[in-house]
Every structure is written in structure tokens, then in C-alpha cells.
Amino acid sequence: MTRYDRLTRRRTLRAGAAAAGLLGVGTGVGAARADGDCAYQVDFVAGDPIEALGEDGGGFYGRQNRLIRYLHGDATGATRRDGWINSLDPATRAAVTADPIRLDGASASVGFRVAEGAELTLSLVVYTLSDGGFSFASADEQDLVDAATGTFGPGTHRLEAELPCAAGDGATRVVADGLDAGDEFGSAVALDGSTLLVGAAGTDDERGAAHVFTRGDDGWTRTWRLAGPPVPSEFDDPTIGPRFGGGVAVDGDTAFVSAPGYPTAPVSAYGAVFVYERESGDGWARRHRFDLGPNLGGGAVVVDGATGIATDSGGTVYVFERRGGGWERTEGFAAGSDEYAAVAADLSGGTVVVGSYTDREAYVLERSAAGEWEAVARFTPDAGLDHLSLFAISVAVDGDRIVVADPTKPADDDGVVYVYERSASGWEPTTRRPLAEVGGTGWSLELRGDRLVVGGSEATLLYELRDGTWTHERAVDHVGSVAFDGSRLAVGVAEYDRGDETGEVYVVDL
């Protein structure tokens, strides 16, 4: 292990230590900025670190074909991150695959995999960064803060380095006692005030479970566990687990939990939705089971007041309504042109929005005064999109506003969100918003009033409508399933720890 005396140190791992998993976290960092005004650059590179960046060609990892990933950030979290895979030489590109760089308090980390037959030196390097961002002209003024270096062979590895200031997104980590590898805690999340419902679809060999947490003076406490229901022996299929907790929803004292693989007939019919109601105290009791089949049903569920919806993989949206003290399935809508249409859906009052990315269309249904559901609008993307477009892979509605995402629109590397608003003449497009702060955005959406949450492949972003413009307000450095109730955001990370899949959830008060 070696040390730089200049600002901080570079920590070096020998091959034997790396193989043993001794990835070493150092104790010294550069001077912390108490005013929260610091900025930094994190580079994941092949080879050893450059101590002093500069304008000459030898002073930049990209020009050396060594830059794998980078991140720019400040005390609020990540402000920009990307991969420079095209800058790599072919041998390095084939040898290493990296996850996005992550921030956790005063440290940065990256998980990566080295291919069979390869061995190479890799480094995670932290530099200061001017408030104006990176530029070649000012790069020679960037100071080395910390670096971690190791020589790695085939397998999965991790490097961690320290930042010049804490990157706090204010997230509280929530986990349940007794989790095992493969439980997928956080496979789905739902949030309503002081109640957090978390699906763990992989529990007990994919039988599944769901956990109820309540917010109190001491934070989030698990108050109830919903076990995956037993499967009728005559229907049991050992090749498909029920995956109870694959979708969850909560509103007040009502919860919906889906089990997409729950068998409902002897041959090839799967999917059920279970309805629970809160009893006195912390308990929850199951009131109904609705079998959906024949396609893997109940993948996504939403409940709002006396109405609930569920989707299946065959392009159907099911509607449930509370009547006479109980719940009934009242409608089913086909959304998509074939039996394998992938469907997203959301509900707000008497409005349902359905997205089918296989058809690249979104549909709006409204409940009439007579209680009938009627199709009132159809949304399509900009002209000229090719077959790679995923328009309507996620949708959201709240009141008189609908948002539809296309995370892979070719003309915008970082995705686009379309905003529609209801007027006296119907639904009209109002905004087409490129989302460029963090790559790959739009895989999930949550909308509450003038606040929009956009889930991506590298961060979860909060936007707010101000003076007619959607403005990026915040980034949460966790990705996965998303729930938002207007004042709190929950992100479920079911695949935490790269393959362990125990899972965790992060909750942020906004």
C-alpha cells in the first residue's frame, strides 16, 4: 500500500489481496467542505491514476483510451455520469464491464466484472472539480483527492474511494430482519404517508412475501409481514414460483399485492391479486383473491380510493371496485395488438392511463357519469421513431395531467418524457421534456401534482413544475422500483450487492 503526501493518498491492492476480497477503505481524505459547495469528478479507469490532469494529450484518460466510466457531483449527489466505452482500446473493452459509479455519503464506489482469461489493473480516482464543471482549459487545476487501485482477475469486484465532501441525498435505508439471499426485498414498493409496503417476490424460492413498515418517532419499523399464500397442490408448478409481492399498492387502509406466477388452473394459467385491509393496531387481513390468468397476471397494481387496477403480460388491464363493503372485479380492457403486449398503467380517480410499448401507444379511459369506462384519448410519439423506441414503457396520471416516457428515443440519448393535460376540449400535449441530467431516464414514472419522479438506469430524478417549466430539483443515487406520495420517495433496490439479491429500500423526505 502506498501513500501520496500531496493532498491525500492512493491506495494500491496487490493481486493476492484483491482475490481475497480485501478492497481496503482508507482513513484519510482531502479537506472537507463544510459549506456544501464542493464539486468533484470520479473516474473509473484502466491502469494507474494520473496524479495531475492537464491539457496535454497524456493528461486525460479519454485520450489514453483508458476511461471506462466517469461521474461529476457535488454535495447534493451526482450531477452527471456516463460511460466512455468507445474510448477504450478493444482489449480493455472486452475484458471489463462496469456498473454506474455510486455515491454513498463521503465515498464513491464502482462494481465491475472481469472476463475469463483476463487480468488487468483498474483504478477509481477522485479529483476536485470547478463549480462550472469540467473543461480542458481548467483541468490542470483539478487536485487529486483519493484513488484506489488493484490488479484483478476474472470475477466480480468493487473499488471504493473517498470524496472531498459528503454526497448526501438524505436517503434512509430500510431493510427487514431475517432476509436471505435471493429474497429480492424491494422488488416493488408502495408508499402512502406513514405506511410503506415492500414486496420481496423471491422469498422462499419465489413463493414471495410483502412487508409493511410504519413511520414513527424512531424512523421506519416493520409492523407486519404478509406471507405468500399456499398454492393448491393440484395446480402447483415447480418451474414457476408465485412471486407474491411482484407488485404492491397501498392507499389508506387498503393494500393490493400481486402474484404474477400464482397458478389459477391446472395448465398454463397464472396470476392473482390479493386484497388486504388494515385491522385495529398494526395487523392486516386478507379479504379477497382475484384470479387473473391465463397470462402472468397482476404484474403491476394500483389502488386509489374505491378503485384498483392490475395488469397482465397479455395486454389486459383489470379494474376492481369497492362495492357494498367488499371488492369486485368489474372491467377488463385489452391494451395492445397481440397477446404478448407489455402494459404499464396508472390510476387517478376516474381516469386510467395505459401504456403499451410494444405498440408505442398510450390510451386514456375515463369513467362516465353512468359508471362506464370509455376510451377518450390515444397518445403516440413523435413521427420518425424507429423500432428501438420504447414509447409508453412507463406512464403516470394525477388529476388533469398525464406523463408518458420514452427512455430510448434515438434523438435524445437520455430519454424523453411527454406531458399531456386535460382541458375542456380533451387531452392535449403540453411539454416534450428531454431528460439529460442522468443517462437512461424514463424507465419508471411517478406523478403527484407539480412534482414528477423519473426513474432511470443510473439515478432517480425529481422534477418540479415552476413557471411553466419542468426543472430538475434533485437526484437520488439509487435505482429500482419507485413509489412517491408527493412528500416522500421510496426506491426499492432488489438486486443490492450485485447478485446477492437480498435487497433494500431507500426512503427520502422531500
Backbone angles phi, psi at 217, to 5 degrees: -65, -25
Query: Which has the minimum average pLDDT: 14-23, 59-68, 389-398, 416-425?
Result: 14-23
| pLDDT tens profile 232-276 | 776 666 667 899 999 999 999 999 999 998 887 766 668 899 999
Do 131 and 192 share a domain, yes or no?
no
Q: Residue 103's pLDDT is what?
A: 84
Q: Residue 491's pLDDT is what?
A: 95
Do 293 and 433 share a domain, yes or no?
yes
Question: What's the chain's average pLDDT?
Answer: 82
Residue listed under C-alpha cell 478493444 = 90
What single letter denotes the amino acid at residue 316? T
What single DSSP character describes residue 231?
P
CB-based contact 412:436 (threshold 8 Å): yes
CB-based contact 59:458 (threshold 8 Å): no
pLDDT over 90 (residue 75) = no
Q: Is residue 483 part of a domain?
A: no
Do 113 and 82 share a domain, yes or no?
yes
CB-based contact 368:336 (threshold 8 Å): no
Domain count, the chain: 2
Do 324 and 288 share a domain, yes or no?
yes
Q: Report the percent of the chain where pLDDT is more than 70.
A: 81
Map residue 29 onto helix, strand or coil. Answer: coil
Residue listed under C-alpha cell 477503505 = 25
Distance, CA of 199 to CA of 402 (rounded, Å):
26
Pick the residue with more confidence: 2 or 47?
47
Q: Is residue 491 part of a domain?
A: no
Q: Containing domain of residue 97, as a range?
A: 10-167
pLDDT over 60 (residue 378) = yes
- The CA dihedral of 477, 481, 485, 486, to the nearest 10 degrees, is 40
β-pair partners for 277: 254, 285
- Predicted confidence band at 15 (pLDDT cuts at 50, 70, 90)? very low
Query: Which has the minimum average pLDDT: 156-160, 290-294, 354-358?
Result: 290-294
| pLDDT tens profile 200-221 | 999 998 999 999 999 999 899 9
Do 280 and 341 share a domain, yes or no?
yes
Query: Which has the minimum average pLDDT: 83-92, 181-190, 465-474?
Result: 83-92
Q: Is residue 471 part of a domain?
A: no
| pLDDT tens profile 219-232 | 999 999 999 888 77
Distance, CA of 131 to CA of 114 (rounded, Å):
35
- Predicted confidence band at 18 (pLDDT cuts at 50, 70, 90)? very low
Distance, CA of 154 to CA of 159 (rounded, Å):
15
Q: Is residue 509 part of a domain?
A: no
Q: Residue 306's pLDDT is what?
A: 96
Residue listed under C-alpha cell 443517462 = 439
What single letter denotes the amino acid at residue 189? V
Q: Residue 338's pLDDT is what?
A: 59
Query: Which has the minimum average pLDDT: 120-134, 148-162, 478-492?
Result: 120-134
- Predicted confidence band at 459 (pLDDT cuts at 50, 70, 90)? confident
Q: What is the CA radius of gyration of the chain?
A: 24
- Predicted confidence band at 342 (pLDDT cuts at 50, 70, 90)? low
CB-based contact 341:359 (threshold 8 Å): yes
Distance, CA of 461 to CA of 498 (rounded, Å):
22
Distance, CA of 225 to CA of 301 (rounded, Å):
19
| pLDDT tens profile 125-136 | 999 988 667 877
- Predicted confidence band at 458 (pLDDT cuts at 50, 70, 90)? confident
CATH number of the domain enclosing 343: 2.130.10.130
What single DSSP character describes residue 208?
B
Do 15 and 97 share a domain, yes or no?
yes
What single letter denotes the amino acid at residue 87? S
Q: Is 353 left (phi over 0), alpha (psi -120 to 50) or beta?
A: beta
CB-based contact 2:10 (threshold 8 Å): yes
pLDDT over 50 (residue 30) = no
pLDDT over 60 (residue 51) = yes
pLDDT over 80 (residue 356) = yes
Mean pLDDT in residue range 468-491:
89
Choose the final residue of a domain: 450, 467, 482.
450
Q: Residue 86's pLDDT is what?
A: 66
Query: Which has the minimum average pLDDT: 99-113, 354-368, 424-438, 451-465?
Result: 424-438
Choose the final residue of a domain: 134, 167, 200.
167
| pLDDT tens profile 398-428 | 999 999 998 876 554 567 889 999 999 999 9
Longest dimension (CA), the chain: 77
Do 346 and 252 share a domain, yes or no?
yes
Do 240 and 210 share a domain, yes or no?
yes
Mean pLDDT in residue range 358-372:
91
- Predicted confidence band at 434 (pLDDT cuts at 50, 70, 90)? low
Choose the final residue of a domain: 450, 477, 505.
450
Mean pLDDT in residue range 356-373:
91
Q: Residue 176's pLDDT is what?
A: 93
Count of helix runs (H) and strand runs (E) in the chain? 3, 37
Distance, CA of 473 to CA of 462 (rounded, Å):
6
Give the number of residues written for the chain: 510
Distance, CA of 245 to CA of 131 (rounded, Å):
44
Q: Is residue 479 part of a domain?
A: no
Q: Is residue 46 part of a domain?
A: yes
Pairing of strands 67-74, 209-216: unpaired
What single DSSP character describes residue 308?
E
Pick the residue with more confidence: 399 or 13?
399
pLDDT over 50 (residue 370) = yes
Do 35 and 106 share a domain, yes or no?
yes
Query: Which has the minimum average pLDDT: 188-192, 230-234, 347-351, 476-480?
Result: 230-234
Burial (0-12, 13-18, 19+ Cβ within 10 Å), 423: exposed
Do 33 and 158 share a domain, yes or no?
yes
Q: Is residue 463 part of a domain?
A: no
- Predicted confidence band at 301 (pLDDT cuts at 50, 70, 90)? very high
pLDDT over 70 (residue 365) = yes
CA 345 to chain CA centroid, nearest Å: 17
Q: Is residue 175 part of a domain?
A: no
Distance, CA of 287 to CA of 350 (rounded, Å):
24
Give the Cα-Cα-Cα angle 241, 246, 248 (nearest 5 degrees).
Answer: 145
Instruction: Take residue 437 and report the three cell numbers written for it.
Output: 441530467
What single DSSP character describes residue 95?
H
Q: Residue 336's pLDDT is what?
A: 62
What single letter denotes the amino acid at residue 68? I
How does 96-131 read in b/e, with b if 16+ C-beta sit within 10 Å? bebbbbbbbeebbbbbbbbeeeeebbbbbbbbbbee
Do 239 and 343 share a domain, yes or no?
yes
Do 147 and 236 share a domain, yes or no?
no
- Predicted confidence band at 377 (pLDDT cuts at 50, 70, 90)? very high
Q: Residue 266's pLDDT is what?
A: 66
Q: Residue 296's pLDDT is what?
A: 67
